[in-house]
Amino acid sequence: MPELPEVETVRRALAPVVTGQQVTDVFVGRKDLRWPLPEALDSQLLGRHFAAPMRRGKYVLMPTDDGQILLIHLGMSGSIRIHEAKPELTRHDHIMVTVDAADGGHRYIVLNDPRRFGWVDLFAADDMATHKLLRDMGPEPLGNGFSAAHMQTVFANLKSPVKNALLDQRLIAGIGNIYACEALFKAGISPRRRAGSITAGRAEKLVHAIVTVLRAAIAEGGTSLRDHVQPGGEIGYFVQQLSVYGRAGLPCVTCATPIRTIVQSGRSSFYCSSCQR
């Protein structure tokens, strides 16, 4: 599933294309993805102007000039493509939004989702704080609300493994399996360690590792392991910098100990038993 860096890559690609531009056409190929799509999504968007897109956790948010927000969740296999010429839509291209372009032409924004685990919603901006997907989310790990103090507060008394806590979007927004594994390795913390024991120096190390890993991944366009591509069709190159994720049995990049893998809450955790305690 696309995580924070992949979604931020999409947001950054969309920003210069849609900001201030008018929607001139909308194609909606089906009535549902993971859940039913909003009624009359095409007519509600037609003629509207987009403001600068935002990101909240793993969601792209595109405000319109009539006080609504178009929310895009890429799910497990979804991707956004931006075309300069009108594309021939394929079987899994479910939505296409056409906007004016500064050069007098148009840009075509296509949502492709083979497995249909993604979702699109259109809701009033005033309802953002109560929206069912957004209301319970923790702070952004790249924002001012994220700190070692916050981590110690929300992890306090948790008996679950720290890896599970990092994936809980109610505690910290946007972190998924890949970057949780990578951040724990960088911080030297075992994914088995109890979350409630992450205090003082460990909390500082983990916060620094999360921020460093996420920023590096954004700079590389995210991680392409199966489905993720950037809106221009490029792959994400952070896959070349992965230290533990997907490297079970390979030597640790630091100490050469074979990387281990365990399953925690249905997700694979990769770690070095020597470097991470």
Contacts of residue 113, defined as CB under 8 A and 6 or more positions apart, other chains included, come to 33, 74, 75, 77, 78, 79, 92, 94
* Cβ-contact 30, 125 below 8 angstroms: no
Between the alpha carbon of residue 36 and those of residues 127, 165, 277, the distances in Å are 19, 30, 45
* Cβ-contact 74, 3 below 8 angstroms: no
Q: Would you state the structure tokens that stand for residue 272, as one six-digit string?
A: 């070095």
Given 55, 56, 58, 202, the catalytic residue? 58
Neighbours of 257 (CB within 10 A): 13
* Cβ-contact 74, 113 below 8 angstroms: yes
Neighbours of 159 (CB within 10 A): 8
Provide the sign of the torsion angle of the four alpha carbons 5, 180, 73, 85, taken in this order: positive
Given 2, 141, 191, 231, the catalytic residue? 2
Specify whether 186 is catalytic.
Answer: no
Specify whether 267 is catalytic.
Answer: yes
Given 12, 116, 215, 267, the catalytic residue? 267
Specify whether 2 is catalytic.
Answer: yes
Angle, alpha carbons 150-154-160 (nearest 5°): 135
Specify whether 58 is catalytic.
Answer: yes
Contacts of residue 13, defined as CB under 8 A and 6 or more positions apart, other chains included, come to 80, 82, 230, 231, 232
Catalytically active residues are 2-3, 58, 267
